[in-house]
């Protein structure tokens, strides 16, 4: 058993805390200002060699080169924002008038919304994966479930299937959205399979199939997460709706909507005033960055990543909370993180809990004595399949799947990701695991 050590340090005096905060905030703002100056000084060069969009803020141009932010913004405008609003409306109407039909209604809506966005052929891919995963789970063999689910995930790297699936859509963005959906659903299938293997034998197969269908097509989490375990989803959805929380729900909705809009504006302001992604794409600009601007460049990257996921996770988590689910906590500010373990644990709590529940399960915790025991091969296998076996890399990016072009040879991204995962503080993970 790993002993838990209590901190022996005493809190700093308020004067020292105030000084530390002033120095930290001041250095952040000054380095951002220097990076902004550098961006404006080289704006003509960026315009000539790259592409700057017309900005939504007067007097500024926009850096559109962050794939993930541009991708999800574009899809939000096209359909996803409206389908999420539709989910919220159906949830409230059924909760008030037909509480017992709320889960079936949300399940049907999620399936229809996915069919509308991905098309029948795209959804059929997910249904095939769902059917295979469910059939194997009925055998109640965790190892077999792992093997088949990892094989299903690996199909996104088969070139023949890629070519066929690309032919279903008129744009690459539609195909990428299918990849996101398949990859994130793969984590849900693993969660269901293991929970079913650990569950009592008296559970009805048809009931479990319905809950797997509902879990898979729950619309707020369908495309990009965050991840919630099958056990948590079913337990919370089964809870009765006896408490009438319309007033508190309305105030929560207004407050959270305001915060999400504020975060979105902050992220947009950052890519209007600091061209961090364009600078990153050309090493010449990185080499000539002044020291303070270079520091601002690094800080702006991690802060933009943090604010971006406040938006990408914030809206789905708000809708899940209104559905009386308990979603993972939103990412914690990376500037106050001082260890890789802390960043992994607090930036994407959903994926962290998924790892604890699925890979380092309580049954395995008894036998985990080193990083080379059972969880490590699972981490390696999952990561190697997530990484590119072709020209594109699907990399786990704090709970969601980021898709981007990789110019490095094959071993580099795979080994980097595997090494990062295997260097997790396993002793820290085990002291915080959940019981089944």
For 89-145, how does the pLDDT look when each residue is reduced to its tens digit (9 = 90+)?
A: 999 999 888 888 999 999 999 999 999 999 999 999 999 999 999 999 999 998 899
414 assigned to some structural domain = yes
**Which comes out higher in pLDDT, residue 235 or 382?**
235
35 assigned to some structural domain = no
**3-state SS, residue 289:** coil
- Tell me what pLDDT residue 234 has: 92
Residue 1 pLDDT greater than 60, yes or no: no
- Tell me what pLDDT residue 89 has: 95
CA dihedral 102, 107, 111, 116 (to 10 degrees): 20
- Tell me what pLDDT residue 214 has: 95
**For helices 142-154 and 375-386, what crossing angle results, to 10°?**
20
Q: Which of 54-68, 86-100, 132-146, 348-362 has the lowest mean pLDDT?
A: 348-362
Residues 223, 115 share a domain: yes
166 assigned to some structural domain = yes
Instruction: Spell out the residues 6+ positions from residue 293 whose beta carbon is closer than 8 angstroms to its own.
Output: 31, 34, 35, 37, 38
Residues 344, 237 share a domain: no
Residue 415 pLDDT greater than 50, yes or no: no
- Tell me what pLDDT residue 391 has: 37
Residues 215, 112 share a domain: yes
Are 334 and 343 contacting, i.e. CB atoms less than 8 angstroms apart?
A: yes
pLDDT band at 31 (very low <50, low <70, confident <90, very high): very high
Are 49 and 281 contacting, i.e. CB atoms less than 8 angstroms apart?
A: no
- Tell me what pLDDT residue 219 has: 96
Assigned token pair, 79: 């359909």
Q: Give the residue from 180, 213, 242 where a domain finishes.
A: 242
Residues 238, 102 share a domain: yes
- Tell me what pLDDT residue 240 has: 56
Q: What is the DSSP secondary-structure string of 89-129?
A: HHHHHHHHH-GGGHHHHHHHHHHHHHHHHHHHHHHHHHHHH
Indicate the DSSP class of residue 146.
Answer: H
Helix (H) or strand (E) holding 62, with range, is strand 61-62
Q: Give the residue from 197, 218, 242 where a domain finishes.
A: 242
CB neighbours of residue 147 within 10 Å:
13
| Mean pLDDT to the nearest integer, 419-423 | 37
Which of these, 253, 276, 237, 202, lies nearest to 94 by C-alpha position? 237
- Read off φ and ψ for residue 317, nearest 5 degrees: -65, -35
- Tell me what pLDDT residue 403 has: 37
Q: How many domains does the chain have?
A: 2
Query: Taken in order 135, 138, 143, 145, is the CA torsion positive or negative?
Result: positive
Residue 406 pLDDT greater than 70, yes or no: no
Q: What is the DSSP secondary-structure string of 358-421?
A: IIS-HHHHTT--STTSTHHHHHHHHHHHHS-SSSEEEEEETTEEEEEE--S-THHHHHHHHHHH
**If you average pLDDT over every residue of the chain, what do you get?**
80
Q: Give the residue from 187, 214, 242 where a domain finishes.
A: 242
**Which comes out higher in pLDDT, residue 75 or 332?**
75
Residue 414 pLDDT greater than 90, yes or no: no
Residues 237, 105 share a domain: yes
405-426 burial, b for 16+ CB within 10 Å, e for fewer?
A: eeeeeeeebbeebbeebeebeb
| Mean pLDDT to the nearest integer, 332-361 | 79
- Tell me what pLDDT residue 173 has: 92
Q: Which of 121-135, 214-228, 405-419 has the lowest mean pLDDT?
A: 405-419
Task: Give the distance, in angstroms, between the CA of residue 147 and the centroid of all CA atoms in the same chain.
Answer: 23
- Tell me what pLDDT residue 284 has: 85
User: Which domain range does residue 226 map to?
Assistant: 98-242
**Rounded to an integer, what distance in angstroms lies between the CA atom of residue 166 and that of residue 176?**
9
Percent share of the chain, pLDDT over 70: 78
- Tell me what pLDDT residue 341 has: 74
Instruction: Spell out the residues 6+ positions from residue 304 whose beta carbon is closer than 8 angstroms to its own.
Output: 66, 267, 270, 271, 276
E strand residue ranges, 204-318: none
Which of these, 181, 228, 222, 220, lies nearest to 357 by C-alpha position? 228
172 assigned to some structural domain = yes
200 assigned to some structural domain = yes
245-254 pLDDT, tens digit per residue, is 555 888 899 9
93 assigned to some structural domain = no
224 assigned to some structural domain = yes
- Tell me what pLDDT residue 198 has: 86
Residues 352, 236 share a domain: no
Q: Which of 126-140, 161-175, 401-415 has the lowest mean pLDDT?
A: 401-415
381 assigned to some structural domain = yes
| Mean pLDDT to the nearest integer, 400-411 | 35
For residue 404, list its beta bridge partners: 393
Q: Which of 52-66, 110-124, 277-291 shows the highest mean pLDDT?
A: 110-124
Q: To which residue do tokens 């058993």 refer?
A: 1
């Amino acid at each position: 058993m790993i002993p838990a050590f209590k901190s022996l340090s005493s809190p700093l005096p308020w004067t020292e805390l105030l000084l530390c905060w002033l120095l930290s905030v001041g250095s952040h703002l000054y380095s951002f200002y220097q990076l902004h100056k550098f961006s404006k000084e080289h704006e003509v060069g960026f315009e000539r060699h790259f592409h700057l969009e017309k900005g939504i803020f007067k007097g500024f141009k926009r850096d559109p080169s962050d794939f993930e932010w541009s991708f999800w913004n574009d899809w939000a405008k096209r359909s996803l924002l409206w389908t999420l609003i539709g989910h919220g409306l159906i949830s409230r109407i059924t909760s008030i008038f037909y509480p017992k039909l709320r889960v079936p209604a949300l399940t049907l809506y999620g399936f229809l919304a996915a069919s509308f966005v991905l098309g029948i052929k795209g959804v059929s891919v997910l249904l095939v994966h769902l059917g295979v995963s469910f059939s194997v789970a009925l055998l109640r063999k965790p190892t077999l479930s792992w093997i088949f689910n990892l094989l299903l995930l690996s199909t996104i790297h088969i070139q023949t299937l890629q070519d066929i699936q690309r032919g279903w859509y008129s744009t690459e963005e539609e195909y990428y959205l299918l990849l996101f959906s398949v990859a994130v659903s793969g984590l849900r299938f693993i969660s269901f399979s293991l929970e079913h293997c650990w569950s009592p034998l008296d559970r009805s197969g048809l009931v479990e199939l319905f809950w797997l269908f509902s879990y898979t097509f729950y619309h707020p989490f369908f495309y990009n997460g965050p991840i919630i375990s099958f056990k948590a989803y079913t337990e919370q959805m089964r809870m009765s709706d006896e408490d009438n929380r319309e007033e508190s729900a309305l105030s929560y909705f207004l407050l959270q909507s305001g915060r999400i809009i504020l975060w979105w504006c902050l992220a947009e302001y950052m890519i209007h005033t600091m061209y961090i992604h364009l600078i990153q794409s050309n090493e010449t600009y990185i080499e000539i960055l002044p020291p303070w601007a270079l520091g601002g460049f690094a800080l702006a990257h991690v802060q933009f990543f943090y604010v971006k996921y406040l938006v990408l996770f914030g809206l789905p988590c708000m809708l899940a909370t209104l559905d009386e689910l308990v979603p993972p906590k939103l990412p914690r500010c990376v500037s106050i993180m001082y260890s890789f373990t802390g960043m992994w644990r607090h930036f994407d709590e959903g994926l962290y809990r998924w790892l604890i529940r699925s890979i380092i399960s309580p049954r395995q915790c008894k036998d985990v004595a080193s990083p080379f025991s059972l969880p490590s091969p699972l981490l390696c296998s999952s990561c190697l399949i997530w990484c590119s076996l072709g020209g594109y890399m699907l990399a786990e990016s704090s709970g969601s799947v980021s898709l981007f072009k990789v110019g490095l040879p094959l071993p580099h991204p795979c080994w980097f990701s595997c090494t990062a995962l295997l260097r997790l503080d396993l002793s820290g993970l085990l002291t915080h695991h959940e019981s089944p």
